[in-house]
Amino acid sequence: MDDLIILEVTVNGQRRSARVDRRELLVEALRARFGVTGPKIGCLTGDCGACTVRLNGLITKSCLRLAVAEEGAEIETLESMSTESGLSDLQEAFWDNNAFQCGYCLSGMLFSAEDLLEHNPTPNEQEIRQAISGNLCRCTGYDAIVTAIKQHADRVGDKTFSTRPADVGEISSQA
């Protein structure tokens, strides 16, 4: 039996195909066959978060999934986060706060933060720490990461608040 098959997936918005081994992990295929280096090979047990991607809209650890099981999937990696003009606002907050050093944990931290903020745009420190708890970082001690996520949430919240239209009650009470 031939152990190689053709896998067709969408990676960062582009439809792609590659020959993969039936036993190959998704993180291995992404790096070796599709040329994306955002997801890192770390623990291979799902503990470190270095391999985190968004798979069909949900964050997942790609070291825990066989590539062949993801036929037809939509996969977003760390490379998808930046914009045409540069870093995303969340990435900028990490940069501004020196919230990464070696970058190994970055996929897990950024995807976890993004997922948290999609569901809870105004998290407190405890909620942020809980959200990133599935990712290991050996460089920063987590404080800078928590600060960056909180700063980004506050910035987004300020923009939302300052640009929202005045409530009808507010207008009548100001008149």
pLDDT for 56-83, tens place per residue?
999 999 999 999 999 999 999 999 998 8
> Which pLDDT score is estimated for 6?
97
What's the pTM value of the predicted model, to 2 decimals? 0.86
pLDDT for 117-154, tens place per residue?
999 999 999 999 999 999 999 888 899 999 999 999 99
pLDDT of 164 over the 60 cut: no
Q: For tokens 């900028």, what's the residue?
A: 92
Eight-class DSSP state of 80: G
- Span of 11-15, 84-88, 108-112, 130-134 with lowest mean pLDDT: 84-88
Strands (E), the chain: 4-11, 14-21, 52-55, 58-61, 74-76
